[in-house]
Each structure stands twice: as structure tokens, then as C-alpha cells.
Amino acid sequence: MSSTPEISPEVRIISVAHSPDSDDAFMFYGLATNKLETDGLKFEHTLKDIQSLNEDARNGVFDVTAISFHAYAYVADKYALLPHGASIGDKYGPIVVAREPREPEDIGKMKIAVPGELTSAYLALRIFNKDFEHVVVPFDEIIEAVQKGEADAGLLIHEGQLFYKQMGLDKVLDLGEWWHERTGLPLPMGGNAIKRELGPELMKQVSKHLHRSILYSMENREDALTYAMQFARDMAPELADRFVAMWVNDLTLDYGERGREGVRRLLDEGYEAGIIPHKANIEFVD
């Protein structure tokens, strides 16, 4: 007889996809390491970069997926937003950097390296100024592209926001600061979306476990951070800690009304500016 236990037929497998970034890994620590009882649900994790996840979501590949809010506008018919798990910056966000001091007013005349056309950072920058030329560069190569003069400026997401000064670059604009001054709202970057076809009951059940995973990580911060460090691309522990603290916060546990309004406002403005071709149907799982 085989010693491998068979999965009983009542176990329901839920496919979950997120990026290998330290903040995503931190959030999913409780589930990914089987620290939590999941009531007959088995969560299978896939790690991919956010650009790939945005594209996969258009094809409905995963039951639950991390997604840029910009990309969500194109998949709202297939997915609803979970009420937790978001990366939302309150008075800070993606940063435009250049080799020498430049003014935000110069952005329309620049060629800017961006991390992807479906990222929320790109959407926010287009809302700020529609006129810039852009080139898509993997997010972790943007600083180098600016240093080499392959672009006049770069749009930084992820940990580059924390060490661009050490790389000899100058801040042109913090989109989160600009957005807050203009709207009074936090700037949402990415969230977790769940397939509508799972049905209301299963969506709520999955939502409960994902919320518990985030809470567990926050309550066991040191262990969760140690786990997340293996995905931190050689980041120093203190830098990873700062990065996780920026993007896993109270708004991650629950958007609250300000967080939800931030998502609505970002996508509505994207539509009004002609960047998103249709008004997005934004729906949160309760």
C-alpha cells in the first residue's frame, strides 16, 4: 500500500497567485506554510511577476490573484476585489526619478522607463501628465536604465523607492504625495481579486482565510519577515522590513472607506482621462 495519503474528495483546491515580492510573501505566510486550519480548502500557490499576473487575470487563470488596480478595470467582469490584501500608500507611492534635478512640469517632455502599461503606477502617472513618451522596462532594471541614459527618468515601484538616492538619482515626483494633496485619498497600487464563478459562499470562505493569513503575519511579524526575506532579491533585512511596513499596513487588513474610495477615484479618473476605455464595475466581496 502507498504511504502517501490521498486527498479526500471533499477537499477543494483554490489556486492562488501572487508576486514573489517580500510584501506579498509576508501576507501569504500563514497560508503558504500551512499554519492555519482552512476548513477543507487546499490553497495552491503560484508565484509570478505582477505583469504576468495582470495578463493571466484577463484569461481567468487563477481563482485568486494579486492584480494591479489598473489591470482590474479590464477583468471586473470575471473577478471581484477581496476587502483585504491591498498595497495602498497613504501620502507616498511610486516615485519618478532622474539623473539630475528635474521639475514635475518637465515630465511631459521626458522619455520615462515604466514597469508595465497595466500597472497602477503607470495609470497614476498618465493621469498626472498624458504627454510623456514611455518605454516598458522590468521594474528591477529601471534604475539601471536611467543611470545608463536609456530613459530620461524612471517610474519606481517596489524597493527601488527606498534606495534610489544611494544610486545617485534625484526625485522628480512622488505620485502618492501628489495624489493625496489633490484628492485627500491614499493611492492604491494592487490588491487581491477572486473569481466570481466560485459563487458567493465560497468567495466569502476564501476571503476569511486570506484575511486570517494577513492577520497571522502581522501578529507573527518576525517569523513572517524571515519567510518573506527569501523572496527579497538580496535586500538587507532592515530594508525589507521598511518595505513590508510601507505596503502591509492597516489598509491591507481592511481598505476602509478611504481605501475603497481611492480605488474608485483612480479608475474613474483613468476613464475620464481616456486612458481606460470603459467605466470599471468595482465590486468588493463582503
**Domains in the chain, CATH or no CATH each:** 12-87+188-272 (3.40.190.10), 95-183 (3.40.190.10)
What tens-digit pLDDT sequence spans the chain (286 residues)? Answer: 445 555 455 789 999 999 888 888 899 999 999 999 999 999 999 999 888 999 999 999 999 999 999 999 999 999 999 999 999 999 999 999 999 999 999 999 999 999 999 999 999 999 999 999 999 998 889 999 999 999 999 999 877 777 788 888 999 999 999 999 999 999 999 999 999 999 999 999 999 999 999 999 999 999 999 998 887 666 778 888 888 888 888 899 999 999 999 999 999 999 999 999 999 989 999 8
Of 263, 86, 284, the closest CA to residue 204 belongs to 284
CA distances from 221 to 8, 23, 109, 160, 226 (A): 33, 12, 44, 23, 9
Q: Take residue 195 and report the three cell numbers written for it.
A: 473569481
Of 163, 192, 183, 208, the closest CA to residue 41 belongs to 208
Per-residue confidence (pLDDT) for residue 133, from 0 to 100: 97
pTM: 0.91
251 and 86 in contact (C-beta within 8 Å)?
A: yes
Q: What is the DSSP string of 50-79?
A: HHHHHHHHHTT--SEEEEEHHHHTTTTTTE
| Number of residues that make up the chain | 286
Per-residue confidence (pLDDT) for residue 23, from 0 to 100: 86
Residue with cell 492597516: 250
Residues with catalytic roles: 158
145 and 137 in contact (C-beta within 8 Å)?
A: yes
Amino acid of residue 173? L
Burial class (CB within 10 angstroms; exposed 0-12, middle 13-18, buried 19+) of 248? buried
Residue 278's Cβ-side half-sphere holds a number of Cα atoms within 13 Å equal to 10
